[in-house]
Amino acid sequence: MFTLRYPFKLQEGREISDLPICGAIGSLIVELRRSDSHYIVDVSGFDTREDAEKYVSGIWVALTWLLIEKGLAHVSSTELQPVSEPKDPEKAAAEFRRGHGSEVMRGEQIHGILDAARPAVIRTAGTYRTNTANRVGVLQSVSGKEAHDLLVKSLHSNPHAASLADVNLLTALDLYCAHYTEASVRAKLLTLTMVLEVLAKREMRPKTATCLLHRLQREIRDRLSHPNLEAEEAETLRSLSRELDYRTRDSIRSAVRTLIMSTYQHDNAAQAHEASKRALKIYDVRSKLVHEGYVEGETLGKSLTDLTEIVKTVLRHRLRKVVHSDA
């Protein structure tokens, strides 16, 4: 039998309390526990190593739900580490203890040394040791039962569901994690607007508009081919050409509106229009903050509250979309 060991860390200032906690998904046992500076999700009961390896992406999805629903921003690797098993487990145990300055215990066996920060598939009956790091101080707590219930719910529905190929979603989740570490409302708001920008897809403008833009670009290329063109003028024309190329697609503001509409319209068309109006209003606050450097505190606070709700809804929708497309 095999066990998947999946370690992760929480960003400073957060913890999962009341651990360890255990539950079952069919014939599999899912345990959430703390080990030094890492939290560990252990899923045991796999018949083969290959079955256990397939579960890595499912745990990543489960932890992402934990981030969105509970604000627990996790740091983890989805890259499985190779586990080499020593030929002589007793000798390996003795060498490990001597290397860590502790007394050798007769008869003790170690079947592998693990990198504490990376997931691994190990034999359930084996004994393994990890290289550990310092503990992280914690302030904000979520109970182990809440965290475990969310993990089990996600794994039960979609054990192999996460497509890690959606690079836009991965970047958006990185930014969403990062906003928890920002100290000011301004920085949080700017970081969350970037989440929407990463996920928004800019569509091509109508053909009439793009034809005009391409005509201007051809004229610029002709001017750039002149042999006596000044360096400063040439750089200005190249910059203008890049700007025209950028303008062949909708603005980011328009793309954000489309993203919000497509996210909310599955539930309610009127709600979709209302949410898109709120999102554009927030985006205008963002533009004012970037270009003028100041927005009234009350406006900033309300914008951040509304934006957090919108971003969480968009991430939930995108994550479900990834899950269903992989199913």
Same domain (yes/no): 108, 158: yes
Confidence (pLDDT) at 42: 95
Domain count, the chain: 3
289 or 92: which leads in pLDDT: 289
Spatial separation of the C-alpha atoms in residues 85 and 93, rounded to whole Å: 12
The pLDDT of 251-272, averaged and rounded, is 84
Asked if 55 and 189 sit in the same domain, the reply is no
**Nearest partner of 198 among 165, 168, 167, judged by Cα:** 168
42 and 105, same domain (yes or no): yes
Q: Do 125 and 272 share a domain, yes or no?
A: no
Interhelix angle 297-326/269-292, nearest 10 degrees: 130
Question: On the CB side of 296, how many CA atoms lie within 13 Å of its CA?
Answer: 3
pTM of whole model > 0.75?
Answer: no
How many whole angstroms separate alpha carbon 238 and alpha carbon 250? 21
Of 98-102, 187-191, 254-258, least confident by mean pLDDT is: 98-102
The per-residue pLDDT for 57 is: 87
* 327 within domain boundaries: no
Same domain, 194 and 315: yes
Cα distance between residue 159 and residue 60, in whole Å: 10
Q: How far apart are CA 41 and CA 22, in angstroms?
A: 10
More confident: 92 or 52: 52
Give the residue numbers spanning the domain of 312. Answer: 185-202+250-321
Same domain, 270 and 123: no
Q: What is the DSSP letter of 97?
A: H
Q: What is the pLDDT of residue 136?
A: 34
Neighbours of 139 (CB within 10 A): 8
**Other Cβ atoms closer than 10 A to 44:** 18
More confident residue, 199 or 269: 199
**Confidence at residue 314, expressed as pLDDT on a 0 to 100 scale:** 92
With a cut of 70, say whether residue 161 has pLDDT above it.
Answer: no
* pLDDT for the residue numbered 196: 93
Residue 231 pLDDT > 90: no
Whether residue 265 sits in one domain with residue 233:
no
- pLDDT score, position 46: 94
Q: Pick the range with the lowest mean pLDDT from 34-38, 200-204, 228-232, 245-249.
A: 245-249
DSSP class of 131: E
Q: Are residues 94 and 211 in the same domain?
A: no
Question: Which helix (DSSP H) or strand (DSSP E) does residue 153 occupy?
Answer: helix 144-157
- Cβ neighbour number for residue 141 with a 10 Å cutoff: 11
**259-279 average pLDDT score:** 85
- Pull the structure tokens for residue 80: 């499985």
Rounded Cα distance, 47 and 1, in Å: 5
Residue 134 confidence (pLDDT) above 50: no
Q: Give the C-alpha distances (Å, rounded to integers) separating 162 from 100, 169, 320.
A: 38, 11, 9
Mean pLDDT of 223-228: 85
Mean pLDDT score, 32-56: 92
Q: Is residue 174 part of a domain?
A: no
Question: What was the pLDDT predicted at 135?
Answer: 36
Residue 104: pLDDT band with limits 50, 70, 90: low
Residues 29 and 102 in one domain: yes
If asked whether residues 105 and 198 sit together in one domain, one would say no
Report the C-alpha gap between 296 and 301 in whole angstroms: 9
pLDDT, residue 138, reads: 33
> What was the pLDDT predicted at 143?
86
**How far apart are the two ends of the chain, measured CA to CA in Å?**
26
What's the mean per-residue pLDDT of the chain?
Answer: 83
Q: Are residues 264 and 308 in the same domain?
A: yes
Q: Note whether 65 and 162 are within 8 A (CB).
A: no
Burial level of 118, CB count in 10 A (0-12/13-18/19+)? Answer: middle
Mean pLDDT in residue range 184-189: 88
User: What mean pLDDT is predicted for residues 300-308?
Assistant: 92
